[in-house]
Amino acid sequence: MTITYEWRGDFDNAALGALHAEGFGPRAGDSAAPADWRARLRRHSLGWVCARDGDHLIGFVNVAWDGGVHAFVLDTVVARRHRSRGVGATLVRTAADRARAAGCDWLHVDFEEKLRSFYFDACGFRPSAAGLIAL
């Protein structure tokens, strides 16, 4: 297995949609009007990292930002068959390196409790006070 990582890598909307659905489950309305990931990322993201095993998209992370010094990790996902091999941590590490290179001072992430060890232990985030409103 040779995994490659690419900042702002090219991807097929259907492949990213399938990977996203595998990791997060389908969202209401996705089957009627699949997400145009390319347009969404170009409009809202500093960048993203694609992980590939050969020609297959097996991992992804989005780096949204405020246009200044704050970047945000979103949608970190790895195909089931490639999990627990360091792919996710490498995706996030690459995202952090590229956000730093773009002049960002902070990289934020929010996550479900079950991912605490991944983000704190494997990726190096530290706890901070934050707030959340479910919409």
Q: Do the domain assignments include residue 57?
A: yes
Domain span holding position 102: 3-122
Domain count, the chain: 1
Q: Do the domain assignments include residue 135?
A: no
Q: Do the domain assignments include residue 134?
A: no
Is a pLDDT exceeding 80 seen at residue 43?
yes
Q: Do the domain assignments include residue 128?
A: no
Q: Do the domain assignments include residue 127?
A: no
Mind giving me the DSSP string for 50-101?
Answer: EEEETTEEEEEEEEEE-SSSEEEEEEEEE-GGGTTSSHHHHHHHHHHHHHHH
Task: State the CATH number of the domain containing residue 8.
Answer: 3.40.630.30
pTM (2 d.p.): 0.89
Average pLDDT over residues 10-35: 79
Digit-coded pLDDT (tens) for 96-133: 999 999 999 999 999 999 999 999 999 999 999 888 78
